[in-house]
Each structure stands twice: as structure tokens, then as C-alpha cells.
Chain A
Amino acid sequence: MAAVSGLVRRSLEQVSGLLRRRFHRTAPAALQVTVREELERDEKVFLLGEEVAQYDGAYKVSRGLWKKYGDKRIIDTPISEMGFAGIAVGAAMAGLRPICEFMTFNFSMQAIDQVINSAAKTYYMSGGLQPVPIVFRGPNGASAGVAAQHSQCFAAWYGHCPGLKVVSPWNSEDAKGLIKSAIRDNNPVVVLENELMYGVPFELSSEAQSKDFLVPIGKAKIERQGTHITVVSHSRPVGHCLEAATVLSKEGIECEVINMRTIRPMDIETIEASVMKTNHLVTVEGGWPQFGVGAEICARIMEGPAFNFLDAPAVRVTGADVPMPYAKILEDNSVPQVKDIIFAIKKTLNI
């Protein structure tokens, strides 16, 4: 009798554990689930790019999809970015909903004319007649030891263009929700993922696991509340900002960390509201400083109501203004580190 009740109790615990259990997913896993859900939901959605089909994806984002959906929905392309990006844009114009994968955004430079001139500007140029519902996605920014031609951040380049939407997820929840919104959006959306984040597992709330979980494009998220200073970032550096905030909290400095999530259209209102509360601003990004995301945020703050609330000039933390070097010591000092963020915060607060 005791044994049976023991059994019953154990299985009940297991069941409730299952219900309570939160999934930990890495971004590729979250992306893979999302792309699968969207392929299921809308037969016009398809994925094309290098090694996406039979190789299961260079970073395994499309694992298992070709087996399930075949050649018509998951398409391996030759190594011809300009060519297949153009084909994808044409497909979007004709009514399909392509997801065009760039193995990294560095290769998108081969195709940038298609992204900007064929995708971004067309709805405007046609006077509202021709939408281009396309998603360009892939890893962006610095990885580890991949040197100058493979480490560039394109947030500023794509964020510069009217007609494009540009999103930059940090964690798996961002990745899942933003890609879903991007696929369902009728406009060209550039999704800047991050290769170093592909291997990091994040908790996915049960809400985020839902098939219709959307993270709206154009809305930032306050990852951590604070009162002393606003720290704004996007993509992988968001994690560094949270680390810096944890360290500084021990010294009594409470940082409000904002995860931009979207580069364009930028949610400047959330940043302004925060600056009006904290009176201090530091921006953090992986890209180069000149004409970067931080530069844009600073300019907009000056143009808006938050300027009068600043007690000190806004400060930018960025990648170093050099092509990415290969040697580890040089590479480490070419990307924003936690110590650089802490330093900038303290300087701004005059500590």
C-alpha cells in the first residue's frame, strides 16, 4: 500500500513538475521552432540560403526542416548572395513570404543592393502599390577569432535606411518573438542575430513557448529597473550591461538596462522616459562608434524632452574604431567589455 501511494505521489510530482517546468532553449532551437511554426501556419513562407536544407543549416537553425518540408519550402542555394537575394525579393513581390538567410551578415554586402534598392525602397517608390514581405536573417557582428571580414556589425548600415525594419534580438525569447513578427510583417525586415549567443540557453516562459508569441517590432524592453542611470543596448552587449549592473549594484548604483530589441523603428520613447527618470545615459553596442546606433540615440535625446533632464553628457560604449584584429588580446580590446561599460557608467555619474 505504501509502495503504491509512493508511486502515485512520485508520478504526480513528475506531472506537476512538467507543468511548472520552464524550457531552456538556445536561440537556434528557438528560431528553429519558430520557423517551423510559421512554415506550418502559412504555406507562402519558405526559407532559402546556403546549406539551409541538406546540411541542416550552417548554425543548425533549420535542422530537420528540409526533411519535413522538402525542396519547395527549404531551398539550398549556390554561393551567390546577390543572385539569391534578388530571387527572394522577386518572390516576395510576387506574393510569397521568403526568409532569406545570409550565413553571416558580412556576406549580405554582396547582396546589399537587393536589400536596399529592391526591397527597402520599393513600397515607397511604387506609391504604395508593391509591398515586399521579406525577412533577411542571419548572424551579425563579432564572433570569436573570425577576423576583419567576418566580424562587422551592420546595425547602423541597415538602420540607416527608411523602408527597412531592423531588429536585433538578445535572448531566445527575443529571437522567437521577433522572428515571428518579422515573418508576419508585410515589410522587409532585417533580423540581426548573434553567433556567440547561439550557444547560450535561456529560459523560455510558457507564454514565450506559445505558437503565437509575438514580440512587437519597434518596442524596447526594460530588462532591469534602476534609478541612477539608463544603459541602452542591443544584442549580445545587453548581457554585458546586465553583468555590469549586477557589479555596480553592490556599490549602491542601480542601473536601468534597456534592451532595444528593434533598431529601426527605434523606440526612443522608452529611452526618453527612462532618461527623464535617471538623468544619465550610456549607450552600448558592438559596432563602430562613428555614425553608429549610440550616435543616433544621443542625437535623438538632444532633439527631445529628455535633453533637459540630463545631468551629464550621454556617453557611448562601442567597438574600437578598427577593422577587427585576429590576435586574441587585440580582439578582446576591440569589443566592449564589462569593465568598459562600468567605467563609462562611473564617469557619467562622476564617481
Chain B
Amino acid sequence: MRKMLAAVSRVLSGVAQKPASRVLVASRSFANDATFEIKKCDLHRLEEGPPVTTVLTREDGLRYYRMMQTVRRMELKADQLYKQKIIRGFCHLCDGQEACCVGLEAGINPTDHLITAYRAHGFTFTRGLSVREILAELTGRRGGCAKGKGGSMHMYAKNFYGGNGIVGAQGQIFEAYNMAALWKLPCIFICENNRYGMGTSVERAAASTDYYKRGDFIPGLRVDGMDILCVREATRFAAAYCRSGKGPILMELQTYRYHGHSMSDPGVSYRTREEIQEVRSKSDPIMLLKDRMVNSNLASVEELKEIDVEVRKEIEDAAQFATADPEPPLEELGHHIYSSDPPFEVRGANQWIKFKSIS
């Protein structure tokens, strides 16, 4: 780095007749913050929506970049481990959707509560769990956040209720809308619209694909889910709406997943490779943030590359741990059936096999 800067400064001083030291100083100072324009959200039953400009500080920008890159690399590592059969069962990856989980967390407080479906690894991370705990849960080891007993779809943290495997329930969501609106519950209903429900496009599954309007009497926003600043501003707006006592609100985040629905779905039988490639090259959330930061002098390319290297190392270390950590002990098979109860006996595969169950 130093050598490169010295070389640059030599060239520049040669060209511009400036003293080398001044050039070095200039290339090292970044802006503290920058203002960006973000896409206006489509509104349903709202007079006004989130702002169309936002200020991003260098500190926040670097943090968002690191978090998104961590989620991206973590998911790609999970892909690798799955193909090596070290992760088993179901594995639903969210690479492409990083702006959603990171942007959401940026707009709420750690004391707020969050629940989601099976594409949950990103949220598990943004809600505070380490990559180590997440990967070790995916590999089913005792160091996993659920002690290896839950797997991909069943990760929990403080104020994070999973990770859930049973979804769809369109009737249930309308029941939830009704009660939330009736009782003015401070609830943000979020749809990460990645255009497909498993292998079926939204056009083939939904009579109306304007998901942000489907709360009917509940106001809604349609948000560019590939732009982390857009997600953050929309979330701040929605959270403020709820906290003011006005009741529930809906957010549709338009996003995209690069992987198929799960690791057993190649993801190319119902969409084209061209489509995936186009999103990657034009709308990748990490690329969008990086370009913004570099072009506004909030960070340098080299600095971000350094973060990439650090993230890669963190993921490698976590993967090492997740592969080397032992499986949970057999004696714990019966644990955690009930909470706050005295120990009891659990039956195994026949009446002579018994496990102790401790809360």
C-alpha cells in the first residue's frame, strides 16, 4: 500500500509539480458523509413516504458493507459445505438479498422483535449471532446456536424468533392483518418479494402481485430491496409509523435471490441464466453500495478490498470451527423438551433405551 502510494505520489508530483507529502495527505482523507438520492417508494394509503435523499456516514457505510459482505460470503460458504455434504437437509440461501436483512436492522433497534421464514441465515447474523454459531448450527455441531438440534431453518436469538419451516398460509396472513389493524398493533409486515415462490413465478401464484397493497386497510410501501439505503429509510419510516401508535404497516422489498429456492433446486428451470446474470451485473446490493461509497470518497477501493479479505478470513475460521467442532453428545438427545420443568425420562427407539430430559 505504502509502495503504491509512494509510486503514485512520484508520478503526480512529476506531473503537477506538487510536493509528494501533500498528495499523500489528500489521497488519505475521506469524506465524513455523503448525501444520496434514493428511489421513491410506491405508496398505498399513505399521504407521504420515506425521504428520497439520505445521508450515509463513512462509518455506517463501512459497517453496512462489511455486514453485507459477511452475509454474502457466509451463504457462499454454506453452498460449498452443502455440496461437500457437511451440511444436510434443507438449506435456503439469501445471497442477493443482503440489502434486506442489513438494511432492515439499520432501521430498527436491537430491542425490536423479528420473525421470519426459512431463508433466515442473513437475519440470524444481523440479529446478533456470529458466523461461527450459524455455520456450526448448519453443520449440526454442539457449538451451533441451537446446539445442533435445529439446523438451517431453526435458529433463534434474543428478540429473533427464527427461522421457521412451515410457510405459505395465505389465509393466516390475512387473519394477522385483520387483528393487527383492529388492535393497532405496532407491527411491520415485510414481504421480501424475490419474484418466485419456490419454482413458481409470482405472476402464476398471485391474483395481485402488488403485495404492498394486499394489506387492504393497512398502509403499505413498495421498496427497492436491492438498495440498502432505500431499505433503511423505508424501515425507519415504517418503524416511526408503528411507534407513533398508528397501527401496522406493510413493506414489500423488491429483491432477488441468486440461488435456487433451496440447495436441491438448481434455480434455472423456471428462470433464465440471463435474468440472474442481469440482476448480478446491474443491481447487486454490495456492488451498489461500493460504487456509491467510492464515487463519493467515503471509502477507497483498497479499503473495501481489505474488508473483503478480513471477511473471507472470518468465514474461513468459522467454517473451520464448524467442521471441526464435535456433534452434540448423545446424552443430550432428550434435553429441552419442556422449559422450567424437573428432569424426566424420555423413551428412545424401544422401551429399554432411555434418555434423560433436562430443561
Q: Which residues of B323-359 are within 8 A (CB) of A?
A: 327-328, 330, 332-334, 337, 346-353, 355
Say yes or no for B170: interface residue by CB 8 A criterion.
yes
Say yes or no for B179: interface residue by CB 8 A criterion.
no
CA distance A146 to B153 in the complex (A): 9
Chain A residues, CB < 8 A from B352? 343-344, 347
Interface size class of B (residues with CB under 8 A): 35 or more
Known contacts: A55-B270, A325-B333. The answer to whether A76 contacts B200 by CB under 8 A is yes
CA distance A322 to B153 in the complex (A): 18
CA distance A332 to B352 in the complex (A): 17
Pick from A34-42, A103-111, A267-275 the stretch touching chain B: A103-111
Chain A residues, CB < 8 A from B327? 327-330
Contact (Cβ within 8 A) B349 A149: no
Chain B residues, CB < 8 A from A328? 88, 140, 327
Contact (Cβ within 8 A) A79 B205: yes
Most chain B Cβ neighbours within 10 Å, of A58, A149, A317: A149
Known contacts: A79-B205, A83-B171, A143-B89. The answer to whether A326 contacts B151 by CB under 8 A is yes
User: Which of these, B205, B328, B337, contacts A327 with CB under 8 Å?
Assistant: B328
Pick from A125-133, A161-169, A334-342 the stretch touching chain B: A334-342
Nearest B residue to A335, CB-CB: B349
Say yes or no for A147: interface residue by CB 8 A criterion.
yes
CA distance A82 to B172 in the complex (A): 10
User: Which of these, B140, B169, B349, contacts A82 with CB under 8 Å?
Assistant: B169
Nearest A residue to B332, CB-CB: A330
Main secondary structure of the interface of A (DSSP, over half): loop
Contact (Cβ within 8 A) B166 A318: no
Q: Which residues of A120-169 are within 8 A (CB) of B?
A: 143-150
Chain A residues, CB < 8 A from B90? 145-147, 150
CA distance A145 to B170 in the complex (A): 27
Number of A-B pairs whose CB atoms are under 8 Å?
A: 164
CA distance A50 to B144 in the complex (A): 32
Known contacts: A320-B333, A326-B89, A343-B350. The answer to whether A147 contacts B154 by CB under 8 A is yes
Nearest A residue to B89, CB-CB: A145
Q: Which residues of B188-214 are within 8 A (CB) of A?
A: 197-200, 204-206
Contact (Cβ within 8 A) B166 A106: yes
User: Which of these, B140, B170, B350, B353, contacts A78 with CB under 8 Å?
Assistant: B170
CA distance A144 to B85 in the complex (A): 11
Q: Which residues of B128-161 are within 8 A (CB) of A?
A: 137, 140-142, 144, 146, 148-154
Chain A residues, CB < 8 A from B333? 320, 322, 325, 330, 333-334
Contact (Cβ within 8 A) B200 A149: no
Chain B residues, CB < 8 A from A148? 149-150, 154
Interface size class of A (residues with CB under 8 A): 35 or more
CA distance A308 to B94 in the complex (A): 61
CA distance A51 to B170 in the complex (A): 17
Q: Which residues of A303-321 are within 8 A (CB) of B?
A: 315-321
Say yes or no for A54: interface residue by CB 8 A criterion.
yes
User: Which of these, B148, B167, B348, contacts A79 with CB under 8 Å?
Assistant: B167
Nearest A residue to B327, CB-CB: A329
CA distance A236 to B267 in the complex (A): 30
Nearest B residue to A329, CB-CB: B327
Contact (Cβ within 8 A) A316 B166: no
Chain B residues, CB < 8 A from A147? 89-90, 150-154, 165
Say yes or no for B168: interface residue by CB 8 A criterion.
yes
Nearest B residue to A143, CB-CB: B89
User: Which of these, A78, A333, A337, contacts B206 with CB under 8 Å?
Assistant: A78
A108 to chain B, nearest CB (A): 10
Most chain B Cβ neighbours within 10 Å, of A318, A322, A343: A322
CA distance A58 to B333 in the complex (A): 31
Chain B residues, CB < 8 A from A78? 168, 170, 197, 200, 205-206
Chain B residues, CB < 8 A from A327? 140-142, 144, 148-149, 327-328
Nearest A residue to B206, CB-CB: A78
Contact (Cβ within 8 A) A110 B166: yes
Say yes or no for A239: interface residue by CB 8 A criterion.
no
Say yes or no for A81: interface residue by CB 8 A criterion.
yes
Most chain A Cβ neighbours within 10 Å, of B165, B205, B355: B165
Say yes or no for B164: interface residue by CB 8 A criterion.
yes
Most chain B Cβ neighbours within 10 Å, of A81, A109, A326: A326
CA distance A340 to B171 in the complex (A): 43
Say yes or no for A227: interface residue by CB 8 A criterion.
no
Say yes or no for A216: interface residue by CB 8 A criterion.
no
Contact (Cβ within 8 A) B170 A79: yes
B40 to chain A, nearest CB (A): 30
1/0 contact trace for A236-269 toward B, CB 8 Å? 0000000000000000000000000000000000
User: Which of these, B88, B142, B148, B348, contacts A320 with CB under 8 Å?
Assistant: B348
Q: Which residues of A92-120 are within 8 A (CB) of B?
A: 106-107, 109-110
Say yes or no for B269: interface residue by CB 8 A criterion.
yes
Nearest A residue to B149, CB-CB: A325
User: Which of these, A55, A316, A333, contacts B200 with CB under 8 Å?
Assistant: A55
Contact (Cβ within 8 A) B148 A330: yes
Say yes or no for A210: interface residue by CB 8 A criterion.
no
20 A-B interface contacts by CB (under 8 A): A51-B200, A78-B200, A80-B170, A83-B171, A148-B150, A149-B166, A317-B349, A319-B349, A321-B334, A321-B348, A323-B337, A326-B149, A326-B151, A327-B327, A329-B330, A330-B330, A333-B348, A340-B350, A340-B353, A343-B350
List residues of chain B with CB under 8 Å of any chain A CB.
Answer: 88-90, 137, 140-142, 144, 146, 148-154, 164-171, 197-200, 204-206, 269-270, 327-328, 330, 332-334, 337, 346-353, 355
The 9 closest A-B pairs by CB, nearest first: A145-B89, A145-B88, A326-B151, A79-B168, A327-B148, A327-B140, A149-B165, A340-B349, A78-B205
Known: A106-B166, A330-B149, A333-B348. 14 other contacts (CB 8 A): A51-B198, A54-B270, A80-B171, A82-B171, A107-B168, A110-B168, A146-B90, A147-B153, A149-B166, A150-B153, A318-B349, A322-B355, A327-B149, A330-B148
